[in-house]
């Protein structure tokens, strides 16, 4: 289901909170677009000798993790025809928006309650190692929402759709985003 003329080879960057489905949906989008798929967290782990993200956070701290995240994004944006699943906090660094803007930015917007349900048993999320993980998710979303809202495309999901259906919804909405972008320039 590729449409090379539609995207002109530009990368698609998925942003949103942890648990939004960026990796799952990103893999499906890549398949449908005949693009390659990159998960920035996986790339960071690889750069760090295959250390888990939780270990990188524990040993180096969030500041160093964010630096690595920016470095990986800088490398990734040099390529074309990629679907890139980003970490939930990638939008916090202003310089990262310079990289993201080289492609189509898609925000997977999922309610906190659904994120919490998906992540309740997940011990691999360093920022959720909190006495009130749902409150932490709510706080993170409140902080990040103005940044996420700068995406080119917002896909709101409530949990009723399959990842495949969400991926298809993204693909269906790409033409309107591309058309609007061409009109602006």
Was 184 annotated as part of a binding site? Answer: no
Query: 125 labelled as ligand-binding?
Result: yes
Is 24 annotated as contributing to ligand binding?
yes
The verdict on whether residue 138 carries a ligand-binding annotation is no
For residue 16, say whether it is annotated as part of any ligand binding site. Answer: no
Three-state secondary structure readout of the chain: CCCHHHHCCCCEEEECCCCCCHHHHHHHHHHHHCCEEEEHHHHHHHHCCCCCHHHHHHHHHHHHHHHHHHHHHHHHCCCCCEEEECCCCHHHCHHHHHHHCCCEEEEEECCHHHHHHHHCCCCCCHHHCCCCHHHHHHHHHHHHHHHHCCCCEEEECCCCCCHHHHHHHHHHHHHHHHHHHHHHC
Instruction: Report whether 27 belongs to an annotated binding site.
Output: no
132 is in an annotated binding site: no
80 is known to lie in a ligand binding site: no
Residue 23 known to bind ligand: yes
Binding annotation for substrate: 41, 66, 88, 144
Binding annotation for ATP: 19-24, 125
Binding annotation: 19-24, 41, 66, 88, 125, 144
């Amino acid at each position: 289901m590729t449409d090379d003329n539609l995207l002109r080879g530009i990368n698609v960057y998925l942003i949103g909170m942890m648990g939004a489905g960026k990796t799952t949906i990103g893999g499906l989008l890549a398949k449908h677009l005949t693009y390659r798929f990159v998960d920035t967290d996986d790339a960071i782990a690889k750069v760090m000798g295959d250390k888990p993200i939780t270990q990188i956070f524990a040993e180096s701290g969030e500041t160093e993790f964010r630096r690595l995240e920016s470095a990986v994004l800088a490398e990734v944006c040099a390529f074309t025809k990629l679907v890139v699943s980003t970490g939930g906090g990638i939008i916090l660094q202003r310089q990262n928006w310079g990289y993201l803007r080289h492609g189509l930015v898609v925000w997977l917007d999922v309610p906190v309650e659904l994120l919490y349900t998906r992540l309740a048993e997940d011990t691999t999320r360093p920022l959720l190692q909190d006495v009130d993980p749902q409150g932490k998710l709510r706080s993170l979303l409140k902080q990040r929402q103005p940044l996420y809202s700068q995406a080119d495309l917002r896909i709101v999901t409530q949990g009723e759709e399959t990842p495949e259906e969400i991926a298809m919804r993204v693909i269906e909405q790409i033409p309107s985003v591309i058309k609007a972008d061409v009109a602006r320039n």
